[in-house]
Structure 1
Amino acid sequence: MERAFERLIFASRWLIAPMYLGLIAVLGMMVVVFLRQTAYYIPQALTMTAETAILAALSLIDLTLAANLLLIVIFSGYENFVSRLDLGDDAERPAWMGTVDFSGLKMKLIASIVAISAIDLLKRFMELGRPGSEPLADRELAWLVTIHVVFVVSGLLLAAMDWLIARSGKKSGGA
């Protein structure tokens, strides 16, 4: 009875597999948005200002970072929580696959969130005072900065916790 229950618990990891399929669908949606934005900006390339070109680049970089984040979550999450990806000796397999544990995934996740937040904040600062742009209220700008700082501090605290855990594991001979 206990063994059957434990097998059921172990098999329950497959319940999150459809969630990774959903993330793959979101990745596809992001590709569509990226292509749509690229198609919007390309015809304007000969007439756009440097500031507009930078804002366009930042928007595309933002989408790319978010897509990279999704890919890391899909690959690492699946391998850490569901099953190993048995792809053989595929030369296209990224070097980090199979090496990112939960702690590494957590750090990549917060680093990506901080980068995305920083790019969004930079875009908002660049839009300040631009003709035709919606003015940001001081309060909204303060909230954007506060949220970004919270992300940065959270990342630093997570990194510090991982460092302390790794250090305590070395002192005690491994935890």
Structure 2
Amino acid sequence: MSDQQYKIAKVVVIGQQNAGKSTLIHRIVHGEFAMELTETMGVDFSTKQFPGRKLNIWDTAGQEQFNSLNKAFYRKAQLAFVVFDLSNEDGLQNVSFWMMQATEMIKNDFELILIGSKSDLEQKIGESELKTALQAFNRKFIRVSSKTGEGIDEILHIMKDFDVQDLDPPLVEKDEKQGCC
């Protein structure tokens, strides 16, 4: 019987409603595109495992009425993805709000990355507007398509290699179940 220890890290995926957060998470966790997912109401939860680590991925609803609910789920996050829709001309509109909310609510050190989603669709955000905004935000940016897989490997690489802090004790999983007596 062997024990495996995992460092556990919390990842929050935030952004406006219909930005493609749930579809992105599905692609990351399951390795496939999901054509139809139900809209997240409140919070959804997934896990992605890498050697020596488990990432608990929290998919937060982008609807305004859930903003106060989302705040509780920022606690102890170590990685935050702010997702915005490249195919929506207003896609950049609230990125600074989500960045500010994450910065205010996450009290420990964390990494924040901007994700431009739906790159397979016609881009409605001009390249010069995007470049100017990204310079102002001064954060790493990844252009992704959950449908084609563009950018997914880069996200997986970040998730696999970022520095996991010891905010919680490691989880020990046993290969065999043991009885109560």
TM-score (norm 1): 0.28
Select the structure that is richer in helix. Answer: 1
Asked which structure has the greater RCO (Cα within 8 Å, sep 6+), the reply is 2
**Larger-gyration structure (1/2):** 1
Select the structure that is richer in strand. Answer: 2
